[in-house]
Homo-oligomer: A and B are copies of this chain.
Amino acid sequence: MFVDRLIQQIKEKKSNIVVGLDPRLDMIPKHIREKSYRMYGKNLRGAAEAIWTFNKEIIESVYDLIPAVKPQIAFYEQYGLEGLESYQKTCRLAQEKGLLVIGDVKRGDIGTTSKAYSDAHLGLTDVEGERIEAFPTDAITVNPYLGDDCLKEFMKDIVDYEKGMFVLVKTSNPTSGQLQDLEAGGKRIYEIVAHLVHQWSREMMGAHQYSSVGAVVGATYPEQAKNLRRLMPTSYFLVPGYGAQGGTAKDIIDCFDERGLGAIINSSRDILYAYQKENSEYKEQNFGRAARNAVLKMQEEINGLLLEQGKQYW
């Protein structure tokens, strides 16, 4: 089951860090880009191959330190079919390295359409009885604006294929409150979504009192996160917003339960492009080592605080 595999990885690796694979072409080391343009041209293929080369080295540099990666599909979709091929290859390589892959796709639609998205990213696509994998991911992020019709379709594949989902509850961006924080009948919208998530979570419980139905809860809203931990006791939190977006170890500490479980913390820019930091000791040729070092530093920050609070899970 997805959540059990996740917790096993967390315990083995003593890490609850997810590396967000959000390739930004202009931040990829120049030597990689130039080689790719020489081979394929300054076009979608050239960009996509540079991304793939970059991702490969990132994954090979950090896979033994982390339980999961989270490629953000938008950063691949913008390079068209070529970009999406790099997304596929990235997901496959991460899985081969033993990592869980969380596709940050934020899909969600009416029932029959959500079924198609679910086939694409969680289940298998049926072609006259042949069952084929379209995009190889272990879990995805899901948008709840259309309600249960949508979630139900993903749920089927979560059960049948032992996959997972993280429903957007409280996102990390500045205007997330515009709808999510509105109060309806004495409850915030994100609390109402949390209630839905909690109900669905009961349908796919693993061995450690956690479910394969999780929630996205931004690191940038620590008060809300504390409240949400209480409202969704059986849901793992996928926590974006750490680092570049402003979240710190103190901000995410209440996403964890008393055992130090319950949350995976995503960081993208601070890890991928650590070599570019002002005081970085690494040159662009060593971006992989810089990323590894950034993961170790983040692990120290988070595990240090968990230890301090007696929430040691390892």
A218 to chain B, nearest CB (A): 9
Structural contact, B75 and A113, CB atoms closer than 8 A: yes
Closest to A126 in B: B25
Structural contact, B113 and A72, CB atoms closer than 8 A: yes
Structural contact, A77 and B171, CB atoms closer than 8 A: no
Residue A231 is within 8 A (CB to CB) of chain B in the complex: no
Which listed residue (B108, B148, B171) contacts A178, Cβ 8 A? B148
- Per-residue B-contact encoding for A128-151, CB less than 8 Å = 1, 0 else: 111010110000000111111110
Structural contact, B81 and A85, CB atoms closer than 8 A: yes
A46 CA to B129 CA, complexed, in Å: 13
With A46-B127, A135-B80, A146-B176 already in contact, the answer to whether A107 and B182 are too (CB < 8 A) is no
Q: State how many residues of chain A have any CB contact under 8 Å with chain B.
A: 71
Structural contact, B192 and A179, CB atoms closer than 8 A: yes
Residue A117 is within 8 A (CB to CB) of chain B in the complex: yes
Residue A234 is within 8 A (CB to CB) of chain B in the complex: no
Contact segment of A36-44, A204-212, A288-296, A303-311: A36-44
Contact segment of A5-13, A52-60, A94-102, A183-191: A183-191
Q: Give the number of times this chain occurs in the complex, counting copies.
A: 2
Residue A93 is within 8 A (CB to CB) of chain B in the complex: no
Structural contact, A145 and B147, CB atoms closer than 8 A: no
Residue A168 is within 8 A (CB to CB) of chain B in the complex: yes
Structural contact, B173 and A150, CB atoms closer than 8 A: yes
Which listed residue (B129, B132, B143) contacts A145, Cβ 8 A? B143
Which listed residue (B134, B147, B168, B175) contacts A83, Cβ 8 A? B134
Residue A222 is within 8 A (CB to CB) of chain B in the complex: no
Interface residues of A in 1-52 (CB under 8 A from B): 22, 25, 33, 37, 42-44, 46-47
Add 17 more A-B contacts to A42-B130, A72-B109, A148-B175 (CB < 8 A): A42-B129, A44-B134, A47-B127, A79-B134, A80-B88, A80-B135, A81-B88, A108-B143, A110-B173, A144-B145, A145-B179, A145-B180, A146-B168, A146-B175, A146-B176, A150-B173, A182-B189
